[in-house]
Amino acid sequence: MFKLPSLPTPSSDVHELADFIELLAWMKGMASLREVAAYLGQTDDNDPNVGIEDSQNQIADRLDEVMHEIEARSEACRVGYPFVQDPTGTVLRSDAVKLSDVPGRVYCYLLLSTRLNMERDRILADIDGTHLLEQLAKVVLRGYLGDRACSLVFGTSKQGTFDQRINNLCSALAEGVAYTSRTGRVRRSGDGKLDVVAWKPFADGLPGKVILFVQCKTGTSWRNDVAQLQPDAFCDKWIQQPLGITPVRTFVISEAEERVRFPETVLDAGLLFDRCRIIDFCPDLNADLAKRLHIWTSAAFAVARAALDPTTPQNGVLQPTP
């Protein structure tokens, strides 16, 4: 997995190379396959003794696959994808209008929070980029569930201790009664891997409703974490009375999952929202979240630009007004 300031190599996965050409197109307004091939030629991880022609053929084959991935992303994001291929299919251009719209801004945030090192660059301009994904998931999943749906961010200490947050959750759900501990110890901190909860209530206020228990991950090292959150075990350990229906395990990631791996991933992760699915259901954002997302993304863009091409000037397309 390439992480800026490192560049991808010809053996990088297709979805990594697709992220790379998107970054170049966003940074410069456009990026051609020839330009990407030049970058990859600088970072060729083949043995120096391997023939140059073989390496060039490998790069060409990979880039054909990349443009197919770009096309798939455009379809999956519907009208929210902020890039467009030219008629030849060899150039990707940024769309200034879509970059200034909410889905386009969100896409760029998700792109950067995937390709930056989120251990080193998580906090930029005093804003935690990982917390932004939780806030984003809260509104996206509410939109996914539709009219009258509710959601909250669970995994934040600002809302009290762990037991207090469980009590607040049970009250909001009108199920489960209250916090308990069947582990033999009282838990006061942490989140039990639960970041966000979304649900669709009935007017009767009775138990038995669709509930999503959500874990969120930025970056690229999330595959080993897809099964960490187990809603049934979480409820058994920390909620006094069983919920009417076991919550649906849901996994939200900033990365655009590989199309070919999607069926396998959902078997492990449950309901999966990757970058494109987030954009598919991206609603308008409240002013505070939009502002914080813009500030973090602007700071992250400066980090990415310095890594990819420190001589490229900043322009208005890359700094949309929040």
pLDDT of 68-78, one tens digit each? Answer: 999 999 999 99
pLDDT band at 307; cut points 50, 70, 90:
confident
pLDDT at 229 over 70: yes
Q: Which domains does the chain have, with CATH numbers?
A: 1-100 (1.10.10.10), 124-287 (3.40.1350)
Task: Give the dihedral sign, CA 222/228/229/232.
Answer: positive
Q: What is the pLDDT of residue 183?
A: 83
Model confidence pTM above 0.85: yes
Range list of H helices, 241-284? 262-269, 275-280
Distance (Å, rounded) from C-alpha 149 to C-alpha 202? 10
Q: What is the mean pLDDT of residues 2-8?
A: 90
Q: What is the pLDDT of residue 315?
A: 41
Task: Give the dihedral sign, CA 99/104/106/112.
Answer: negative
> Token pair of 221, please?
């090292």
Q: Residue 49 CA to chain centroid, in angstroms?
A: 39
b/e code 237-261 from CB counts within 10 Å (16+ = b): ebbeeebeeebebbbbbbbbbbeee
Q: What is the mean pLDDT of residues 186-198?
A: 85
Q: Phi then psi for 183, rounded to 5 degrees?
A: -100, -5
Q: What is the mean pLDDT of residues 198-214?
A: 97
**CA angle (8, 13, 14) in 5-degree steps:** 100
Q: What is the mean pLDDT of residues 294-305?
A: 96
Q: What is the mean pLDDT of residues 187-192?
A: 76
Q: What is the pLDDT of residue 1?
A: 80
* Closest to 141 in 3D by CA, of 12, 313, 270: 270
Lowest pLDDT segment from 23-32, 101-110, 183-192, 305-314: 305-314
Distance (Å, rounded) from C-alpha 86 to C-alpha 34? 14
pLDDT band at 55; cut points 50, 70, 90:
low
211 neighbors 247 (Cβ within 8 angstroms): yes
Q: What is the pLDDT of residue 52?
A: 47
Question: How much is the mean pLDDT over the chain?
Answer: 90
Q: What is the pLDDT of residue 317?
A: 35
pLDDT tens readout for residues 111-154: 999 999 999 999 999 999 999 999 999 999 999 999 999 999 99
**How many residues belong to the chain?**
322
